[in-house]
Structure 1
Amino acid sequence: MEIITGVERRRHWRDDEKLRILAELEESGAKFAEVARRHQVSRGLLWQWRDAQRRGKLVAEASGFVPVRVIPELPAPCAPEMSPGTPCPSMSDADGAPDDRIEIVLPDGTAVRVAEDVSTTALRRVLAALRG
């Protein structure tokens, strides 16, 4: 028999811990009850985490560095309907001032241009939408 004499506190799981535990469930022969018991977590909570993972709400944060190359000014992409030999417009405002947008080109060739003051949250949502 276990007697709890203090205030019981909820354990707060970090996303990387949740994902590590969920990865154990993917191993062959793994059983929910055994994994739950080993980590002292309820099976119901494991199901909630698994559901959140499947819905894309529980994802691993990309840790590490991404190679970045700074280019003073890129030519704007040409519209397909432009005739060959017609110069593409440059990335600048109508008054000739340089455009203060950031262009991100993904490995699949998808390009995203955002304002330099875009919030990290908004940028994450855009990139997550492109991945999905």
Structure 2
Amino acid sequence: MEIITGVERRRRWRAEDKLRVLAEAAEPGARTSEVARRHDISRGLLWYWRRQLRQGRLAVRGAPEPMFLPVQVSGPVLPEPVAPGMATNPQIEIALPDGTCVRVGTDVDAAALRRVLGVLRR
């Protein structure tokens, strides 16, 4: 005999909440099983949400759509003479429409640059 003491529930998760849980699971050192347990969901559901995010099927409604921004390439600039023994440090300069200017070395990690630009968009 089986006794059911409560009502089986099926939660409805908003996209914002799913993305918040996914961001928590993506933190360095985070364990998928612990994040799932903390939010009372299965690991499989967390992996399903990750797949939805990768496929572009999970997005916040009303979030701005990605768009191309105009790029202005300055004219040819002659490099300044460099004294022997001095290393050059080539940089990439990104000027945003609000006047913010970001300069990074050419060796910057793409993920780090993405995080910086993401913070500036807020």
Q: Determine which structure has greater relative contact order: mean sequence separation of CA pairs < 8 Å that are 6+ residues apart, divided by chain length.
A: 2
Normalising to structure 1: TM-score of the pair? 0.45
* Higher radius of gyration, 1 or 2: 1
